[in-house]
Structure 1
Amino acid sequence: MKVLPVIICGGAGTRLFKENRDNLPKQFIDFGGWTMFQKTLDRINSKLFLPPIISTNIKYLNLVKKHLKKNKITDYKIILEPSKKNTAPAILSPCLLPEIASNQIILFLPSDQLIEEKNKFNQEIKKNLNKIFYKDIFVFGIKPKEPSDQFGYFFRKKNSINVSKFTEKPSIKIAKNIIKKGGLWNAGIFMSTKENIIYHFMNEQNKLFKNCLLSVQNSNKKSNSIFLESHSYNKIKPISFDCAILEKISNIKSIRLNINWSDLGSWKSLLNFYNINKKKYFTKTNLFRRPWGTYRNLFKGKNFLIKELIVNSKGCLSLQKHRHREEHWYVTEGYPEITLDKKILKPKLKDLVHIPKGSIHRIHNKLKKPVKIIEAQIGKILKETDIIRIEDVYGRIKN
């Protein structure tokens, strides 16, 4: 049996751009000639899968169609939510379509994750298809690279694929302990059958189930798009699939993925991605020399700019501030001394330093080894003219 991919694509993606409300959701942001939704569509371009269903918000319809056309996908369905209600109804509503067979295996994929090892990922799915039985839901887990308070975790029973416990977004201190005990990141990817998903919603979230069913039954179908009926759907209280179902049932199994995975949901993870792939963005014209070293513009997106700064030994940027932008600095090499208002910071390798808009700041490299930093500038105006120098060892302040 082929797998039906359901792509969950309705998130607002506010973790990266909290102030800039006009930014696109993360899954649609151009990060350098590609988007995460595009990468997700590419992942299911395989004989293993049936044509996809995209579960999204009605306001993203044109964006979704644009990406489907770009990826030359002509066979698909789009389910359109009239309002944002989190992942539980977004997962349930595709399962209620009458044309889907009750024993159909469905893979639920977030649209905003980066998984470069497509073949490995699909092999793991194929390996586990015959393990799905009555009431089973499979969750996908990733071995954590570092403690994070941005992800949920789960434990597996000893020598078993069965899940014993979920922990939702713990503190860094608790996350460290979870990792020591063998906990996995919850990747937010699920696999089950139509009948299993419906069974658990009927038993654990009956009111949500009834409203969602009415919304599907009374939906308006137009070509490949299904417009869910708003009166019933708007009665649903927002709730995640984890809270609605996974935390309440015992028939949960797991697939451990030994692949490179990221949701690029923080500036730290995003800047690390650009650091790993920075050579792809190198050109002859994007390198700029300064008295303290060099910087290279890697990519300019909507309301953000990614740079690499190289501060030479004894190099010192001007003490400065910005009116129109905030910055994030991700240390990839060396040991900088950073002035941030009245504080002196000494970040280590892979540390992230946030420079709020209007704060006074500077990078100073007092050692022999060069300092390398991947910088994200965030704001509507991202120009060198938005540098207000307060002190400068190179005499660049004009009186």
Structure 2
Amino acid sequence: MKIRPVILCGGAGTRLWPNQKKHQAKQFINFGNWTLLGKTLERIKGSIFDNPVISTNAKYLKQVKQHLKKHKIKKYKIVLEPAKKNTAPAILSTALIKDIPDNQPLMFFSSDHLIEKVNIFNNAIYKNKSNLTDQNIFIFGIKPKSPSSEYGYFLTKKVNGNINKVTKFIEKPKEVKAKQVIKKNGYWNSGMFFLRKDSIINNFKKYQLKTFKNCLDAVNKAKYKSNTYYLNKSSFLKATAKSFDYAILEKTKQINAIKLDIPWSDLGSWKEILKMYDKNKRKYIKKKNIYYRPWGKYTNLFEGNEFLIKELYVKPKGILSLQKHHHRAEHWLVTQGNAKITLNKDIIIKKPGEHIFIPLEAIHRIQNPSKKPVKIFEAQVGSILKESDIVRYQDVYGRVI
């Protein structure tokens, strides 16, 4: 029996767009002729996988179908949630559809993860297929490249040969704690799950019986049209809004880990997005998009929907103007040299790998006091991304107007 991929595609992606009423869901953002959902759909074309099931909502149905068509996936099922109830009801409802037999292995993917070395990833999934039972759950851990407070972690111990049993979860620790967790061989919790349908049913019956009954009712009363299950609203609304982690993982003892050492990110912050563009910048550089200034130069790498990615090169002793913007905020990631940054009344030194957020209307400046160049990746986020949205207060090159 092949593995049935289930793609959870209901997230709103609000973290990237603070204080904005209109925002794009992360899985649909065009990062340069590709999206995270598109990458996920390509990933599940491997020979180990059966036709996909996508869990989403009415707001995203059109975009999901456009992606399926673009990536030439003709056989699929869509399960539409009538309301946001977090990942526990989404996972359970999707698993309960009649197309899926009880002993079916199910691989739950997030629609907004960037995963490289897909062959290693898929081999790890397939290798653990025979270890699935009607009770256990496998989760995926990623070997941390650095201590991060943006991800949760877990610890494991080896049991029964090569099975890694999860012994403890650590929710998004501060950086100091994250370093301690990594020393204990902790892994990032990727939020992907591998288990059988009967394991989902048994765990929900045991730990979340009310949600199980309501989701089963929502599926049984669902309307089916054009490969899409429209879950019954009145039943689904009675399900408890909880994440799968809180509803099941924190209660069951039968959690095993598949530990991976591969490039992975959920691109959940502009810092992570900037790292991605830095890593792949050769694909985006065009000579016509390089602009020279008295302090150095900048390169426009990619302009998306209400965001612009740049690389700034600040020559030794170069100083940008003291300025602010009315229509955009900025995220900076230093990739080379030490940048002296003015942010309102503060002077901050940022080293390679460090990030700083420049809010809307904040007065700011970059200086390079050293004899070596400074490079900064910049994400401008807002409604106007042109040079015209610069209010200069001081400028050593006489550009104050």
Paired AA for residue 15 in structure 2: R
Q: What is the distance in 2 between the residues matched to 1:18 and 1:88?
A: 25
Q: Which runs of 5+ in 1 are unaligned?
A: none
Q: Does 1:135 align with 2:135?
A: yes
Cα displacement (A) at 1:99: 2.6
Contact 1:319/1:362, CA 8 A, preserved across alignment: yes
After superposition, give the CA deviation of every residue in 1:355-396 in whole Å (9 maximum; x if it has no partner). 111111111101111000000001011110001000000011
SS at match of 1:308: strand
Q: Aligned pair 1:284/2:284, yes or no?
A: no
Is the counterpart of residue 148 in structure 1 residue 151 in structure 2? no
* Match for residue 360 of structure 2 among 357, 369, 381: 357
* SS of aligned partner of 1:331: strand
Which residue does the alignment assign to 1:47?
A: 47
Q: Contact conserved, 2:80 with 2:228, CA < 8 A, in 1?
A: yes
Query: What is residue 231 of structure 1 aligned with on the other side?
Result: 234
* 2:245 counterpart of 1:216: no
Conserved 8 A contact 1:215-1:228: yes
Which of 375, 378, 387 is the aligned partner of 1:384? 387
Partners in 2 of 1:147 and 1:304 — Cα distance?
27
What is the number of residues matched between the two proteins? 398
Q: 1:275 touches 1:374 (CA, 8 Å); kept in 2?
A: yes
* 1:334 pairs with 2:337: yes
Distance of 2:158 and 2:186 partners within structure 1: 12
8 Å contact kept, 2:104–2:196? yes
Contact 1:23-1:302 within 8 A present in 2 as well: no
Partner of 2:174: 171
State whether residues 23 and 303 of structure 1, in contact with CA within 8 Å, keep that contact through their aligned partners in structure 2.
Answer: no
2:212 is equivalent to residue 194 of structure 1: no
How far apart in 1 are the matches of 2:51 and 2:304?
A: 31
Aligned equivalents of 1:44 and 1:55: distance in 2? 15
- Cα contact 2:142–2:187 (8 A) shared by 1: yes
> Counterpart amino acid of 1:392?
D
Q: 2:267 matched to which residue of 1? A: 264
- How large is the RMSD of aligned CA atoms in angstroms? 1.0
Q: Deviations over 1:249-286 (max 9, x none)?
A: 01111100111100010111110111111110011210
Matched residues in 1 for 2:210 and 2:240: separation? 10
**Distance between the aligned counterparts of 1:23 and 1:207, measured in 2?**
34
* Superposed CA offset, 1:216-245 (max 9, x none): 000010011110010011122211000000
Partner of 1:31: 31
| Runs of 4+ residues over 6 Å off in structure 1 | none
Q: Which runs of 5+ in 2 are unaligned?
A: none
Q: Which residue of 1 aligns with 2:306?
A: 303
Following superposition, the deviation at residue 333 of structure 1 comes to: 0.1
Query: Given residue 72 of structure 1, which amino acid in structure 2 is its aligned partner?
Result: K
1:324 aligns with 2:315: no
Instruction: Decide whether the 8 Å contact of 1:102 with 1:195 is kept in 2.
Output: yes
Q: Which moved more, 1:114-123 or 1:290-299?
A: 114-123
**C-alpha contact (below 8 Å) 2:136/2:199 kept by paired residues:** yes
**Which range is displaced more, 30-39 or 144-153?**
144-153
Partner of 2:110: 110
Following superposition, the deviation at residue 21 of structure 1 comes to 2.8
Amino acid at match of 2:82: P
Equivalent residue number for residue 393 of structure 1? 396
Give me the identity figure in percent: 55
Q: TM-score, normalised by structure 2?
A: 0.98
Is the deviation greater in 137-146 or in 156-165?
Answer: 156-165
Identify the residue that residue 346 of structure 1 maps to in structure 2.
Answer: 349
Deviation at 1:158, TM superposition (A): 4.5
Q: Distance in 2 between matches of 1:19 and 1:36?
A: 23
1:79 and 2:79 aligned: yes
CA gap 1:158/1:46 in 2 versus in 1, 3 angstroms: closer
User: What's the TM-score, normalizing by structure 1?
Assistant: 0.98
Q: Distance between the aligned counterparts of 2:122 and 2:304, measured in 1?
A: 31
Distance in 1 of aligned mates of 2:239 and 2:174: 30
Is the CA contact (8 Å cut-off) linking 1:331 and 1:350 kept in structure 2? yes
Deviations 1:320-352 (A, max 9, x none): 011111101100001111111111000111100
Q: Which amino acid letter does the alignment assign opposite residue 293 of structure 1?
A: G
- Is 1:294 paired with 2:334? no
Q: 3-state SS of the aligned residue for 2:145?
A: coil
1:161 is paired with a residue of what secondary structure? strand
Contact 2:89–2:240, Cα closer than 8 Å, also in 1: no
| Matching residue of 1:89 | 89
Amino acid at match of 1:369: K
1:15-49 deviation digits (Å, cap 9, x = unpaired): 11122232210001001110000000000011110
Give the Cα separation in 1 of the matches to 2:265 and 2:333.
17
8 Å contact from structure 1 (residues 337, 345) kept in 2:
yes
Match of 1:53, as an amino acid? V
CA distance, structure 2, for counterparts of residue 166 and residue 82 of structure 1: 31
Structure 2: distance between partners of 1:284 and 1:347: 28
Q: Which residue of 2 aligns with 1:205?
A: 208
